Structure 1
């Protein structure tokens, strides 16, 4: 489960990824972004990466004041096994990229996980909800999670978030490309980058409190 992410805006890797995704870079550093937060994501529109703002919780509920997260469904993540079943249409037509610097997992301690020399481009799904204004839908999103990886299980033994390689970002956002079978290799549970893992303070995740380890790419 990916239940919190971080974004460090002065990172050159994050800046480069935001530029690639056409996300205006007027964001603040946030080390503790949690589900249902409004986050920048990129979707494909007419073959072009387009930055938008979305609620990090795929299923939304309509209220008098707009939309909020639907408590009936814990949908800030979408498991791989759902991509060919009840989330297949979203997987074919509504893929998105969620940029970040790191993510966090909890297993006894809280751990920060970050690539050594890049930003993170999480593969995700999005939905556009009717607001009554076709020019301004309400967007929501989830991060796709894969089955656990044996060399990551001491950090989290339930799942691993989908982290896209640089050459996968453009086809992932290609809104004219709808073949779900193309992504079988991408959806394998692999360590795709060298990852730095370090315990951090549970309430202040910007504070590292232990020795870091490196989990090398497969």
Structure 2
């Protein structure tokens, strides 16, 4: 079962980055919704999270299941276990999911994500938060629309292999957010540069407790961005071991 995987991410409706996005696009959120959704530190595949997308010519925030392909059960929609679709590999963007890539892009905001390589690590930008590039689907229901999403993954990065050696998530820069959310902008080849595997900002890597990600379990280190003159200083080497990953 996919639940044996340990990858997860953290999302907080009160995060300053998310609040800035909402202000930029004129979005509002009911304060009661914030109170009813305490800070999720450990959202797992098929868990509920918030995505930002363009709908009816407006930017909106929607709750979604983190697993692109869903199936209907007696209890509502849940993950379709025939497809491991919480991630979408880069190569699929120009083949089986090209239409989604052209018209159904979304952002998954997060404070950080987690990876395992013998130990659990929290990965977060040194400054700011993360705007994961993703895709979304809509599923009509009697109550409205059920949304699902997937995070786009790129080939692995050499200086990130000590944390995870299978792939690297697409993390958008601030100037890419507006065109990414423009549903009328369908030129998928525009994104060729963004889809290059690159560490685009400094990442703070912190060992955390395997069961309680809010508990720090060792000294942090930084993997600097690829444009930094200090990029050869990639932090300590972690002994290779079994990877349980969010982005495989």
State the TM bucket, normalised to the shorter chain.
over 0.9
Structure 2 residue matching 1:203: 3-state secondary structure: coil
Tell me which residue corresponds to 2:153.
Answer: 145
User: How far did 1:88 drift?
Assistant: 0.6
Structure 2 residue matching 1:13: 3-state secondary structure: helix
Tell me which residue corresponds to 1:128.
Answer: 138
For the residues of structure 1 that align with 2:28 and 2:154, how far apart are their CA atoms? 26
User: How far did 1:38 drift?
Assistant: 1.1
- Structure 2, unpaired ranges of 5+: 227-248
Matched, 1:160 2:164: no
Structure 1 residue matching 2:132: 3-state secondary structure: strand
Tell me which residue corresponds to 2:125.
Answer: 115
User: How far did 1:86 drift?
Assistant: 0.4
Matched, 1:12 2:16: yes
The answer on whether the counterparts of 2:6 and 2:116 sit within 8 Å (CA) in structure 1 is no
Tell me which residue corresponds to 1:53.
Answer: 63
User: How far did 1:23 drift?
Assistant: 6.0
* Worse overlay, 190-199 or 64-73: 64-73
The answer on whether the counterparts of 2:11 and 2:49 sit within 8 Å (CA) in structure 1 is no
Listed as ranges, the matches of 1:130-209 within 5 Å are: 130-132=140-142, 136-209=144-217
Tell me which residue corresponds to 2:87.
Answer: 77
User: How far did 1:74 drift?
Assistant: 1.0
Structure 1 residue matching 2:38: 3-state secondary structure: coil
Question: Which whole-Å deviations, capped at 9, do the CAs of 1:96-125 have from their partners, x for residues lacking one?
Answer: 000100001111111100001111110000
Matched, 1:99 2:77: no
- Structure 1, unpaired ranges of 5+: none
User: How far did 1:17 drift?
Assistant: 3.4
Question: Which whole-Å deviations, capped at 9, do the CAs of 1:105-147 have from their partners, x for residues lacking one?
Answer: 11111110000111111000000012256xx211100000111
Listed as ranges, the matches of 1:204-215 within 5 Å are: 204-215=212-223
Supply the RMSD in Å over aligned alpha carbons: 1.8
Compared with structure 1, are the counterparts of its residues 8 and 66 closer, same or farther at alpha carbon in structure 2 (3 Å cutoff)?
closer
Tell me which residue corresponds to 1:35.
Answer: 45
Of the two, which has the highest radius of gyration? 2
For the residues of structure 1 that align with 2:154 and 2:170, how far apart are their CA atoms? 6
Higher helix share: 2
For the residues of structure 2 that align with 1:93 and 1:9, how far apart are their CA atoms? 26
Compared with structure 1, are the counterparts of its residues 2 and 82 closer, same or farther at alpha carbon in structure 2 (3 Å cutoff)?
farther
* Worse overlay, 204-213 or 64-73: 64-73
The answer on whether the counterparts of 2:59 and 2:181 sit within 8 Å (CA) in structure 1 is yes
